Amino acid sequence: MILLLTPLVLVVMLFGGLAPWWIAGRHAIPARERLPLERMTIQDCLATLRRGADWWVPDTLRDDD
């Protein structure tokens, strides 16, 4: 039973961990430029996560060197 639930728990943890970046990314995009969720491709989803991460993570934690 535990082996069946482990992948589900990992997926929930992954999406839960990325949720703040997704929300920040969606709100960083002006409403007139946002794509509806059903039209988003995987590249659009990754771009939204990147935009949210850029907004969410403070500059002090980044190592851009």
Model-level pTM greater than 0.95? no
Residue with tokens 């970046």: 21
Residue 51 makes CB contacts below 8 A (sequence gap 6+) with 24, 25, 28, 29
- Do 28 and 53 meet the contact criterion of CB atoms below 8 Å apart? no
Concatenating the DSSP letter of every residue in 2-46 gives HHHHHHHHHHHHHHHHHHHHHHHHHHHS-GGGPPPGGG--HHHHH
Residue 2 is predicted with a pLDDT of 73
Q: Name which residue leads in pLDDT, 48 or 59.
A: 48
Q: Is the pLDDT of residue 39 over 70?
A: yes
- Do 62 and 27 meet the contact criterion of CB atoms below 8 Å apart? no
